[in-house]
Amino acid sequence: MSNLTSGNQMWGGRFVTGPDEIMEEINASIDFDKVLYAQDIAGSKAHARMLVKQAIISADDGDKILKGLDTILSEIEAGEFKFSRALEDIHMNIESRLAELIGEAAGRLHTARSRNDQIALDFRLWVKQAAQQLDGLLVTLIGVLIDKADEHKDTLMPGFTHLQGAQPVTFGHHCMAYVEMFGRDLSRVRDAIHRMDECPLGAAALAGTGFNIDRHMTSDELGFREPTRNSLDSVSDRDFALEFLSFASICATHLSRMAEEYVIWSTSQFNFISLSDKFSTGSSIMPQKKNPDAAELVRAKTGRINGSLIGLLTVMKGLPLTYSKDMQEDKEGVFDAASSLRLAIAAMTGMIDDSSINKQEMAKAAGSGYSIATDLADWLVREADMPFRQAHHVTGAAVALAEKNECGLEELSLEDLQAIDKRIEKGVFDVLSVEKSVQSRKSFGGTSPDNVAQQIAWWRKQLGS
């Protein structure tokens, strides 16, 4: 027992006074929630104006509060504000300074609200603004990909399954695949913004308030679509943060997949892409090295973002209604994920825009691995009236012969092909080229250059609207 009362034997050398200091250490959130100062002050100003309008506080007190909050905002932005861990959080730090500035009137600001609805408001405002920033960054990234696709809508490259050459496609078509992915991310973040666009201010601690407040007024002033409808849910809901992290994880996964391809394609073994010096680094010992570090770091950021999602899901999974202190752990992961995703999108945008495409290497690889075999099978179905399974078998025999002769399918003679199946005619050579293979893929969503051009036009219209 003496160990507990005389010091900090159980917790190690960091703590010198015992449980009181430990409680401050675990309880204070000002070290990270101070980034919410602008949202907190905006919410307080809207709340003060509403209290005046509803005659809950006097106009004179309201005027003092607003001027005091403006002073605090200026102090924080100028780096002159002193944050105190003893005051726990951003709310109490601002309220304490307000009392120093305007005296007793500061105590009237907290009428008809609680730190529970206050933090729900601040955090929701911050996440909404972060989501809007990411919306703009995604639009820019999609625009760069569309421009790259337009430039390379007929640039030949191999399409892959299992990272094995499968069928030829165009690099423009490949770029547009990522446009579709990031387009879904754009849709997701906009859906999330719509759902989080409800104002919790006025829910108070959990049950609402007996004061005659006007929640629609504060909601409108803070730029929300409407107030939340249930006070219990208002202070305990963190779906907006979870949905933001879910969007961030999916988007980061798309970025990581593209980063992985840029890492592979920039190797000397592939040599499909040359990354600019702006987005590469060298080696401290090997002077020839040019490392795709930007792509690798984009790939790695996904792990951090996924971790933030799992962390918050785990925090929230067992909480009864309404507010619990566990929910103080909701912010740092979101802040980190938003920062990581902003950086990853910006890096990917710059890297793609500044990269060079090695067309000759791509085209050479597009024809390797008997990538036009399916075109031979399709010709047999169309022109020789074969069932596809039989055509598949015949084509497999042709590939085996080409492998034996160490040549391409298009280099086999008509006699070679007719020895496999007499129904093959010289017209088959009209389809046995990479260029004709790509041009023939005209089904909706296919890789033909005309299709790619149509998809580019469609997406430009979507972004424009």
Residue type at 35?
Answer: V
Is the CB of residue 132 less than 8 Å from the CB of residue 193? yes
Is residue 355 left, alpha or beta, with left meaning phi > 0 and alpha meaning psi from -120 to 50? Answer: beta
Query: Given 2, 162, 268, 284, which residue is catalytic?
Result: 162
Query: Given 283, 324, 368, 413, which residue is catalytic?
Result: 283
Q: How many helices (H) and strands (E) does the chain have?
A: 19, 6
Residue type at 377?
Answer: A
Give the number of other Cβ atoms within 10 Å of residue 53's Cβ: 15
Question: For residues 413 and 421, what is the distance between their CA atoms, to the nearest angstrom?
Answer: 13
List, in sequence order, every beta strand (DSSP E) within 320-427: 356-357
Question: For residues 437 and 168, what is the distance between their CA atoms, to the nearest angstrom?
Answer: 7
Query: Does 174 qualify as catalytic in the annotation?
Result: no
* Residue 158 DSSP label: E
Question: For residues 146 and 189, what is the distance between their CA atoms, to the nearest angstrom?
Answer: 20
* Nearest in space to 160 (alpha carbons), one of 299, 359, 366, 356: 366
Instruction: Give start and end residues of each alpha helix (H) in 222-367.
Output: 231-236, 239-265, 293-316, 332-354, 359-366
Would you state the structure tokens that stand for residue 406, as one six-digit string?
Answer: 């160490």
Alpha carbon 59 to its chain's center: 44
Question: For residues 159 and 87, what is the distance between their CA atoms, to the nearest angstrom?
Answer: 59
Query: Does 187 qualify as catalytic in the annotation?
Result: no
Which residue numbers are catalytic?
162, 283
